[in-house]
Amino acid sequence: MGRTSRKRSTLAKRAIVASAALLLGGGGLVAVNVYASAGEGWSDKPPAQQQAENAGQAMSTIDCPDVANEVTEVPEPARPEVDRELAAIDSQITEAYRQFADQKAQIEQDPAFADNAILNPLKEKRLAGLDRIAVAISRVAERPQGLEALAPCTLRADDNAGAPAGGDGQAPGQGGEQETPGQEAPGQQAPGEDDGAQAGNGPDASDFVNIKSVRPNVQEPRPRRGASRGAFTTECGRNEAGKFNSDNVIVAPGVSNGAHHMHDYVGNQANDAFASDDALAAGETTCRNQGDRSTYYWPVLRLQNGQDEADVNADGGGKEGNVGEIQTPAQVTLKFVGSPVSRVTAMPRFLRIITGDAKAFVNGDANANASWSCTGFENRQLKDKYPICPRGSKVVRTFKFQSCWDGQNTDSANHRTHVAFADRNGRCQNGFRAIPQLQQRIVYNVPPGPGFAVDSFPEQLHKPVTDHGDFINVFDERLMNRVVSCLNSGRTCR
């Protein structure tokens, strides 16, 4: 599907305050972008001035620069320490958001209270963490300068809160070809109510849209001569055994609860924060073909039905606003497809790919990539809304992973720059080579209407745009070669 093109808030007028690229030893680059905006993003203005500009808007969350996105390269010896510091910075935001949520009424009466009690202490903690990152890098390369610009955070409003839940500004059930049930099913409450369903931190009713009000919008590159037209499907189940944790071995290796939300896992069963490549290679798999020990994971989807899960008092679960009944998918399809313009080459073993952005609500949508739809309507895909499906139709999440690889690295400091999406014509750019593209389709049988949400970092308010998927390739060489052969020869294989 490519990446969504929706901009950050149209209410806010962004201006670039500072942009610097700082060369590290060994060719590493740190890009620092600082934005000023009304109620969101990064600002060089004092927090009190920022709050004054937001007068009349109810603040919904804490907006901080995503340090991981800005530190685009880190020397390999420094990565473990930098990863730990990045995970600590995420935990600081989580704790600050909890304080904000607990004291929201006082903040609305006295905006300066947020500066003194939340934003300024958070800035000091971030400054210390950023300094430790710079020190870790300086041990093996030139110390980066300017990281302190990433320390300040602001409060921001949810600009969509209170908007109608239907497409094109219409209420649920009033748009599209015919009326669609948009009310919550019996026993459910509307999203956004502080009923404990998501611990009062979203999603809002405006985050849902009637799928029938969405026009068909799927466009695929037309295959050309030389395309790899085949497909390979690997069958790994639906997480029937209920393997969950709130770790993320890609983004926060060695850190428990590094994701601050629960993941579904299929495939490799050894995946936790401490899993090495060797552990993954030796791990058991739910995949039918034992040559595929890859790990596939994504945030769980929960019903907002007031039902407690086993993690209601756990890190990554209820302690961080992720509550409600976890839904086992009705169907999970994991398919690898080829390039519309060329042959593909084998993925390297232990290649790591993240698609989507878990922090897209405050980061903006540059890396957002998940799609939402309904069975029977999959030519209509949503990026920043959950679908309201008609009765008899199921909710569908789709992830199309990056399909271009730099030919050298199995990972990168920000876990993105070693892979890329093909351009609109299906070609890989900048010397990258085409690899099999993982496409994940996850189907849920949930009651019609609003009343569900994916797990998220607490400050991301369970927004659909924050959905994301993670993959580590642990195919053995023989099976990966078979995948490549199937795709390049135009066959359909399992």
Per-residue three-class SS string for the chain: CCCCCCCCCCCCCCEEEEEEEEECHHHCEEEEEEEECCCCCCCCCCHHHHHHHCCCCCEEEEECCCHHHHECCCCHHHHHHHHHHHHHHHHHHHHHHHHHHHCHHHHHHCHHHHHHHHHHHHHHHHHHHHHHHHHHHHCCCCCCCCHHHHCCCEEEECCCCCCCCCHHHCCCCCCCCCCCCCCCCCCCCCCCCCCCCCCCCCCCHHHEEEHHHCCCCCCCCCCCCCCCCCEEEECCCCCCCCCEECCCCCCCCCCCCCCCCCEEEEEECCCCCCCCHHHHHHCCECCCCCCECCEEEEECEEECCCCCCCCCCCCCCHHHCCCCEECCCCEEEEEEECCCCCCCCCCCCCCEEEEECCCHHHHCCCCCCCEEEECCCCCCCECCCEEECCCCCCEEEEEECCCEECCCCCCCCCCCCCEECCCCCCCCCCCCEECCEEEEEEEECCCCCCCEEECCCHHHCCCHHHCEEEEECCECHHHHHHHHHHHHHCCEEC
149 and 198 part of one domain: no
pLDDT band at 290 (very low <50, low <70, confident <90, very high): very high
In whole angstroms, give the CA distance from residue 193 to residue 178. Answer: 28
For residue 445, being part of any structural domain is answered with: yes
pLDDT computed for residue 168 by the predictor: 41
180-215 pLDDT, tens digit per residue, is 333 333 333 343 344 434 557 889 999 999 999 999
Last residue within a domain, chosen from 107, 122, 157:
157
197 and 309 part of one domain: yes
For residue 365, being part of any structural domain is answered with: yes
The domain total for the chain is 2
pLDDT band at 174 (very low <50, low <70, confident <90, very high): very low
For residue 164, being part of any structural domain is answered with: no
331 and 222 part of one domain: yes
Q: Region 444-460: what's the mean pLDDT?
A: 95
Q: Region 146-152: what's the mean pLDDT?
A: 96
Q: How many CA atoms lie within 13 A of 303 on its CB side?
A: 21
341 and 407 part of one domain: yes
139 and 200 part of one domain: no
Residue 354, pLDDT above cutoff 90: yes
251 and 360 part of one domain: yes
pLDDT computed for residue 265 by the predictor: 98
Last residue within a domain, chosen from 108, 140, 157:
157
For residue 212, being part of any structural domain is answered with: yes
306 and 407 part of one domain: yes
Minimal CA–CA distance to 160: which of 468, 464, 467?
Answer: 464
pLDDT computed for residue 198 by the predictor: 57
For residue 173, being part of any structural domain is answered with: no
381 and 259 part of one domain: yes
For residue 10, being part of any structural domain is answered with: no
62-92 pLDDT, tens digit per residue, is 999 999 988 888 999 999 999 999 999 999 9
246 and 378 part of one domain: yes
pLDDT band at 161 (very low <50, low <70, confident <90, very high): low
Last residue within a domain, chosen from 157, 174, 206:
157
Residue 112, pLDDT above cutoff 60: yes
Residue 52, pLDDT above cutoff 50: no
pTM of the model: 0.84
For residue 228, being part of any structural domain is answered with: yes
263 and 411 part of one domain: yes
pLDDT computed for residue 202 by the predictor: 86
217 and 94 part of one domain: no
Annotate 407-444 with b (16+ C-beta within 10 A) or e (fewer): eeebbbbbbbebbbbbeeebbbeeebebbbbbbbbbbb
62 and 131 part of one domain: yes
For residue 7, being part of any structural domain is answered with: no
18-35 pLDDT, tens digit per residue, is 323 322 333 333 333 322
Contact 396/378 with Cβ under 8 angstroms? yes
Q: Which domain holds residue 419?
A: 183-494
